[in-house]
Amino acid sequence: MLRAELAAAGGRSARAMELFDAAVTAARRAGALQDVGLFLERAARFYLGRGARTAAAGYLSDAVDAFDVWGANAWSKVLAERYADLVQPRNSGMADVTETGTSSSGHGQIVDSATLIRAAAALARKVSLKDVVTEVMRAMVINAGATRGVLLLDVDNRLQVAAVGDAKGDVQVLTDGSAVELHGIPNGLVSFVRRACERVVMDDACADPTFRSDPHIRAHSALSILCVPLLSKGDVVGMVYLENAGVRGAFSADRCITVETLGAQAAVSIENARLYDSLRSSLERQAELTFAHARFVPHQFLETLGRPSIGDIKLGDHVLTKASILFSDIRGFTSLVEGMAPEDAIDFINTYLARMEPAVLAEGGFIDNYVGDAIMAVFDRGADASVRAGIAMLRSLGEWTRPRELHGQSPIRIGVGIATGEMIFGTIGAANRLKCGVVGDTVNLAARIEGLTKHYGLGLLIGGNTYASLDDPECYLIREIDLVTVAGREAPVRLYEVFDADPETLRDQKLRARDALSEGLRLYRAGDDDHAARTFRLCRDLAPDDPLPVLLAKRCGRIRDRVSAAAWDGIERIGLK
């Protein structure tokens, strides 16, 4: 069409006439009604521009009819009114808008073509195999005028029934790989069509010399039968079997062409749908594997290493970064599970861990390791996230354990320790066995701080570096509790308790005694154990449920026994691991 317009604009009228006619013919063969109408209208304007009114009248009349059939009635009316002196109403159907090689009337064939276009478009919109199979079966039965239809698909070089449809448009999609013989289809006919790769149509199956002896045809007295292969790149990907039990010669040449044309689109759609379903299954499997990998190697760990997937990790990959490490452990775990059956013990641990994990994930952390009931979590988005997670873990534990205690079960207590500093994220192991992990002095310190929660009888302790890294320590209920050295580390560690998750009564007691406790620690570190002891006893009176003042008061009398006043540095040396 473009070449026709260029030829007309260039003054090559004879060439333009040939090209206009060629464009219209190509559009007719393709069944593109909208293009047929448009090309006829452009040709008419070309002839009008050269004074050839008779030729223009013919093209305009055909254009009006084409637009009418396509459904563009408004534009058809505009053309008829604008060129009323040229467009004559037609009593008979428009001839040959599409070339089919049949003897059907023109207008009837236009309707078939429009229906065909709509059916093919509906097929093209489907993407899943189930939807494509349903649409193919429905379109074939309705457009062919069949009373029953069966769609067969090739699966591992064997034809299986994929769908059964009826004249009402009802379609039953089958996914059980039903054999052909279970659905009353002539086996000999199916085998022939598959080998020959061409359609077979019978106007009266009972009288057909080739297939009338087939048991199905004899038993059901089928009249009209049409069997069409679905071909893709020369291979049979399926087959459509249609029958009309009440009318002889039901499948006319027009209808056979309609079914074959739909079959060509169906073959493409089926292959695309299979590819789509295969791709979707692969993506779902990949998603499952990715989720499974994430349960062993958190995606945050991969992000920190700068690796897009677990498959990209190599032995020796590492990066130095600052983060917070949280350790938690159940107090007296052995005695809690003692006497439990193994499956009950596992269920207890998993139930506990399932309540702890959300608190970590909610703050952007990830679980690096489980060791029995112990948890090691990593937070690389700031110290506040680790502290909030620790508080949430203790609160979640309280919600779980209170009903247990009301039913006479043993109480559950945990300790949480947090340290902040530099550490190495990396891969550890050998060529055939890798482990992603976090190593460094900060990791060891966090484990030691968690262990000290038992010594002090407190729930959540943080180191000085974590305290110093908080955006605003005043956002939490925090008190300093000690200055200590821990096993494997010479530098002293200042310890703080975060008691936001304590019961309300205990929180109030600790708040009342907080200033006095701070003063007692100052006196204790200065070596004034008498005044320090009196201050800690005052703290005990203000907070009778708090175990810390009692422990510190007992410690005061040991200062002179251990070191001279001149050597005392106020640091408590604890050898706990």
Mean pLDDT of the chain: 81
Burial profile 179-212: b = 16 or more Cβ within 10 angstroms, e = fewer: ebeeebbbeebbeebbeeeebbbbbebeebeebe
Contact 193, 224 (CB under 8 A): no
Q: Which candidate, 104, 84, 87, 86, places its Cα nearest to that of 95?
A: 104
CA dist., res. 391 & res. 389, Å (int): 5
CA dist., res. 393 & res. 520, Å (int): 30
Task: Match 């059964």 to its residue by tokens.
Answer: 164
Tokens of 293: 């990998």
- What mean pLDDT is predicted for residues 104-129? 57
Q: Which candidate, 420, 517, 530, 527, places its Cα nearest to that of 473?
A: 420
pLDDT of 159 reads 84
CA dist., res. 198 & res. 228, Å (int): 7
- What mean pLDDT is predicted for residues 244-253? 83
Helix (H/G/I), strand (E/B), else coil: 496: strand
Contact 150, 243 (CB under 8 A): no
pLDDT higher than threshold 90 for residue 130: no
Inter-residue long-range contacts of 360-366, CB under 8 Å, 24+ positions, other chains counted = 360/326, 360/389, 360/393, 362/389, 362/392, 363/388, 363/389, 363/392, 364/300, 365/300, 365/326, 365/389, 366/298, 366/299, 366/300, 366/301
Strand partners, 260: none
The Cα angle at residue 224 between residues 218 and 230, in degrees rounded to 5: 105
Contact 194, 159 (CB under 8 A): yes
Angle between helices 33-49 and 13-30 (to 10 degrees): 160
Please report, as a single letter, which amino acid is at residue 375: I
- What mean pLDDT is predicted for residues 487-502? 91
Contact 491, 485 (CB under 8 A): yes
Query: Following DSSP, what letter does each residue of 303-354 receive, concatenated?
Result: HHHT-SSGGG--TT-EEEEEEEEEEEEETTHHHHHTT--HHHHHHHHHHHHH
Which has the higher per-residue pLDDT, 440 or 467? 467
pLDDT of 309 reads 63
Over residues 512-537, the pLDDT tens digits come to 999 999 999 999 988 888 999 999 99
Which has the higher per-residue pLDDT, 277 or 376? 376
Segment of 63-67, 189-193, 390-394, 558-562 carrying the highest mean pLDDT? 390-394
Domain ranges across the chain = 2-99, 129-277, 299-502, 503-568
Share of the chain above pLDDT 90, in %: 28
Please state the pTM of the whole predicted model.
0.55
CA-CA-CA-CA torsion sign (414, 415, 418, 423): negative
pLDDT of 111 reads 37
Which has the higher per-residue pLDDT, 174 or 473? 473
pLDDT higher than threshold 90 for residue 478: yes
pLDDT higher than threshold 80 for residue 576: no
User: Within 13 Å and on the Cβ side, how many CA atoms surround 253?
Assistant: 7
pLDDT of 389 reads 96
Task: Match 């009309």 to its residue by tokens.
Answer: 244
Alpha helices (H) along 206-252: 215-220
Tokens of 493: 């560690």
pLDDT of 476 reads 96
Q: What is the CATH number of domain 299-502?
A: 3.30.70.1230
Over residues 326-343, the pLDDT tens digits come to 999 998 888 888 778 888
Band (pLDDT 50/70/90 cuts) for residue 418 is very high
Contact 68, 93 (CB under 8 A): no
pLDDT of 458 reads 95
Was domain 129-277 assigned CATH 3.40.50.1980?
no
- What mean pLDDT is predicted for residues 552-577? 70
Task: Match 């247990």 to its residue by tokens.
Answer: 404
Band (pLDDT 50/70/90 cuts) for residue 145 is confident
Over residues 374-403, the pLDDT tens digits come to 899 999 889 999 999 999 999 999 998 888
Tokens of 43: 């040709």
Over residues 495-518, the pLDDT tens digits come to 999 999 999 999 999 999 999 999
Q: What letter would DSSP give residue 156?
A: T
Share of the chain above pLDDT 70, in %: 81
pLDDT higher than threshold 60 for residue 359: yes
Please report, as a single letter, which amino acid is at residue 480: E
pLDDT of 165 reads 87
Over residues 73-110, the pLDDT tens digits come to 778 888 888 888 888 655 433 333 333 333 333 333 43
Strand partners, 225: 202, 243
pLDDT of 79 reads 85
